[in-house]
């Protein structure tokens, strides 16, 4: 069995486990239409805000939203929903529309087994500048949350963020026009992502982070992920361990296309046992954005100060600097079947790590000559 076959079998096993978790839920309550509980597209934004908090907090209700725009006043104190463990189903054409472009949309604190189907969010006026920590949808310390068939458009910060959550799952989601990350997992246990597209994000498209200041929570799996036009990086794993990113496309980023790293600024842990498998990175560093302040980090693939990382079956096309750039003192990096094309820097610029290299190639790179540099000391 080769490496890719093993990873695919592991992915199938994890998906089966997630489905079993869903099947084992307690019998749900009968569905109730949103207008029946005072959430209506005829209400004022303040009325919808009040009734959302009242209806969902500490409940396990199943609420169905008929078609229409549901305006929600998200100004002032956060729209904080605590302990929700039910289900929200959005009919085609149903949207939550937030009125304050500078504030979070909804915050879900705690809760177990919550399910969202067809979630659609936007803002009355799309945010045009970043306001830190003002995510559109935030989950904090939730367990076994499922978000399926979502469309998140606009945010003053990240679009969809999970903070210290256990087994969050996101499937078939589109996240666009955010001022920070598209989809972000902060110190989460065994996050699962499948069939997600992010586009026009203000920073990373999809990010897995693990901060040292919190109890260690590890694991992550992302399959069939596409990132387009990111003003930061494409897909990042910062500090998290036991993560696999498989079948991915990153097209036009302002900084490096994919990144695995320890980040001292954010006090992350050291990432280890991270796998990027079967992906394409195109035009890394060529999109306008934050990297204009630091032109050095515009490689197709980048890693730094990792414990262990593996890149396999990856195509890097037309990055701004190097195809693959990395260093890992006291760490291990494995690169198998990596193809680099049209990188003005080196195809591979690798320093200070234990390397396992197999089947690397580059063309149209480094006008001065060498396409591969490996320095270990």
Digit-coded pLDDT (tens) for 62-109: 999 999 999 999 999 999 999 999 999 999 999 999 999 999 999 999
Region 261-272: mean pLDDT is: 93
Domain of residue 300 covers: 3-375
Region 14-20: mean pLDDT is: 43
Classify residue 99 as exposed, middle or buried by CB count within 10 Å of its CB (0-12, 13-18, 19+).
middle
**Total domain count for the chain?**
1
Q: What is the pLDDT of residue 213?
A: 87
Q: How far apart are CA 50 and CA 348, in angstroms?
A: 56
Q: What is the pLDDT of residue 28?
A: 63
pLDDT beyond 70 at 367? no
Which two tokens mark 77? Answer: 């104190």
> Torsion over CA of 85, 86, 91 and 96, rounded to 10 degrees?
-40
Which two tokens mark 141? Answer: 């310390």
Q: What is the pLDDT of residue 289?
A: 81
**Is-contact 71 124, C-beta < 8 A?**
yes
pLDDT beyond 60 at 21? no
Q: What is the pLDDT of residue 36?
A: 97
For 250, residues 6+ apart whose C-beta sits below 8 A from its C-beta are 205, 226, 227, 230, 234, 235, 257, 258, 279, 280, 281, 282, 284
Q: What percentage of the chain carries pLDDT values higher than 70?
A: 89
Q: How far is CA 122 from CA 85, 95, 127, in A?
A: 23, 7, 10
Q: Positive or negative CA dihedral for 358, 359, 365, 369?
A: positive
CATH value at residue 202? 2.160.20.10
pLDDT in tens, 347-361: 999 999 899 999 999
pLDDT beyond 70 at 40? yes
Q: What is the pLDDT of residue 291?
A: 55
Region 193-212: mean pLDDT is: 97
CB atoms within 10 A of CB 174: 18
Q: What is the pLDDT of residue 290?
A: 66
**370 pLDDT tier (thresholds 50, 70, 90):** low
265 vs 274: which has the higher pLDDT:
274
Q: Which residues pair with 160 in a beta bridge?
A: 137, 183
15 sits in which H/E element: helix 3-23
What's the mean pLDDT when you consider all of the chain?
A: 91
365 vs 188: which has the higher pLDDT:
188
Q: What is the pLDDT of residue 19?
A: 41
**Is-contact 186 157, C-beta < 8 A?**
no
**377 pLDDT tier (thresholds 50, 70, 90):** low
Q: What is the pLDDT of residue 20?
A: 43
DSSP labels for 88-138?
Answer: EEE-TTEEEEES-TTS-SEEEES-BS-EEES-EEEESS---S--TT--SEE
């Amino acid at each position: 069995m080769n490496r890719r076959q093993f990873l695919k079998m592991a992915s199938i096993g994890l998906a089966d486990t997630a489905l079993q978790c869903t099947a084992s839920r307690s019998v749900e309550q009968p569905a109730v239409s949103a207008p029946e509980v005072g959430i209506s597209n005829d209400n004022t934004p303040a009325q919808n805000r009040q009734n959302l908090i009242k209806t969902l907090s500490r409940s396990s209700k199943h609420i169905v939203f008929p078609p229409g725009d549901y305006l929600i006043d998200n100004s002032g104190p956060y729209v904080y929903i605590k302990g929700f463990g039910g289900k929200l189903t959005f009919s085609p054409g149903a949207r939550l529309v937030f009125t304050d472009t500078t504030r979070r949309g909804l915050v879900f604190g705690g809760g177990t087994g919550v399910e969202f189907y067809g979630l659609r969010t936007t803002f009355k006026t799309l945010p045009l500048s970043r306001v830190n920590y003002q995510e559109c949808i935030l989950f904090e310390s939730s367990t076994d949350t499922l978000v399926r068939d979502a469309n998140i458009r606009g945010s003053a910060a990240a679009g969809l963020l999970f903070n210290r959550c256990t087994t969050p799952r996101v499937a078939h989601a589109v996240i666009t026009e955010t001022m920070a990350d598209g989809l972000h997992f902060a110190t989460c246990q065994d996050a699962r992502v499948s069939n997600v597209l992010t586009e026009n994000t203000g920073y990373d498209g999809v990010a897995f982070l693990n901060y040292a200041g919190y109890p260690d929570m590890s694991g992550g799996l992302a399959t069939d992920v596409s990132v387009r036009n990111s003003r930061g990086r494409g897909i990042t794993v910062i500090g998290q361990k036991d993560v696999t990113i498989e079948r991915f496309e990153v097209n036009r980023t302002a900084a490096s296309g994919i990144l695995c790293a320890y980040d001292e600024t954010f006090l992350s842990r050291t990432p280890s046992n991270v796998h990027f498998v079967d992906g394409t990175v195109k035009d890394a560093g060529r999109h306008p954005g934050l990297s204009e302040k630091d032109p050095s980090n515009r490689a197709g693939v980048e890693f730094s100060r990792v414990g262990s990382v593996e890149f396999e079956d990856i195509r890097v096309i037309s990055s701004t600097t190097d195809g693959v750039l990395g260093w890992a003192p006291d760490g291990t990096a494995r690169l198998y079947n990596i193809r680099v094309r049209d990188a003005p820097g080196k195809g591979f610029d690798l320093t200070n790590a234990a390397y396992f290299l197999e089947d690397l190639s580059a063309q149209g790179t480094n006008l001065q000559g060498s396409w591969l540099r490996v320095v270990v000391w």
